[in-house]
Amino acid sequence: MKYQSFNEEIIRLIGGKDNIQAVVHCMTRLRFTLKDRSKAKTEELKALDGVIDVVSNNVAYQVIIGTHVSEVHAELISMLGIAPNSNEETEVNEKKNPLKAAMDLLSETMTPVIEPIIASGLLAGFLSLFSITGLISADSPTYQLLDSIRSAVFFFLPILIAMSCAKRLKASPYLAVALAATLVSSSINDVAGLSIFGIQLPQMVYANSFIPIILAVWFMGQLTVLLKKYVPKFLQYFLNPLLIMVICLPVTLLIFGPIGIWIGDGIGWFFEVLHNTFGSWIVVMLYAALQPFLIMLGAGNFMMPLALNFVNKMGYDPIFLAAATISDLAVSGAMLGYFLRAKDSKQKQLFGTVSFSALMGVTEPAIYGVFIKYRRPFVAVMIGGGIGGLFAGLMNVKTYSIVWGLMGLPSYADNQDFSNLVFMIISVVVGFVTAAIAAYILGIPQEEKEGQKKESLNENDQAKLATLKKVPLASVVEGKIVPLSEIKDQAFSTGALGKGLGIIPSDNRIVAPVSGEVSAVFPTKHAIGIKTEQGVEVLIHIGIDTVELDGKYFDTIVSQGDSVKQGQLLSTVDFAEIQTKGYDPTVIVVITNTMDYLDVVPVARENVVADDECLTVIL
Q: In what side-by-side order are the strands of the sheet with 509-511?
A: 509-511, 569-573, 554-556
- With a CB cutoff of 8 Å and minimum separation 6, the contacts of 376 are 439, 442, 443, 445
3-state secondary structure of 209: coil
3-state secondary structure of 103: helix
Interaxial angle between packed helices 303-314 and 257-277, expressed in degrees from 0 to 180 and rounded to the nearest 10: 90
Q: Which of 521, 509, 516, 511 is nearest to 617 (CA)?
A: 516
CA distance to 23, 39, 241, 264, 386, per residue, from 43 (Å)? 20, 12, 53, 65, 64
Buried b (16+ CB within 10 A) or exposed e, 122-147: bbbbbbbbbbeeeebeeeeeebeebb
How far from the centroid of its chain's Cα atoms is residue 551's Cα? 23
* Single-letter amino acid, residue 183: L
Instruction: Note whether 490 and 54 are within 8 A (CB).
Output: no
- With a CB cutoff of 8 Å and minimum separation 6, the contacts of 524 are 87, 88, 90, 546, 547, 549, 550, 551, 554
The Cα 362–Cα 377 span in angstroms is 16
3-state secondary structure of 320: helix
CA distance to 11, 46, 72, 240, per residue, from 41 (Å)? 10, 9, 20, 49
Buried b (16+ CB within 10 A) or exposed e, 455-489: eeeeeeeeeeeeeeeebebbbbbbbebbebeebeb
3-state secondary structure of 95: coil
Q: 10 Å Cβ neighbour count for 205?
A: 15
CA 398, 400, 405, 406 dihedral sign is negative
Q: Which residues are catalytic?
A: 26
Q: State the DSSP H helix or E strand holding residue 23, giving kind and residue range, or none if neither.
A: strand 20-25
The Cα 590–Cα 568 span in angstroms is 18
| Residues pairing with 479 in the sheet | 505, 608
Residue 190, burial from CB neighbour count under 10 angstroms (0-12, 13-18, 19+): exposed
Rg (CA), the chain: 29
Q: 10 Å Cβ neighbour count for 497?
A: 26
Q: 10 Å Cβ neighbour count for 4?
A: 12
Instruction: Note whether 438 and 334 are within 8 A (CB).
Output: yes
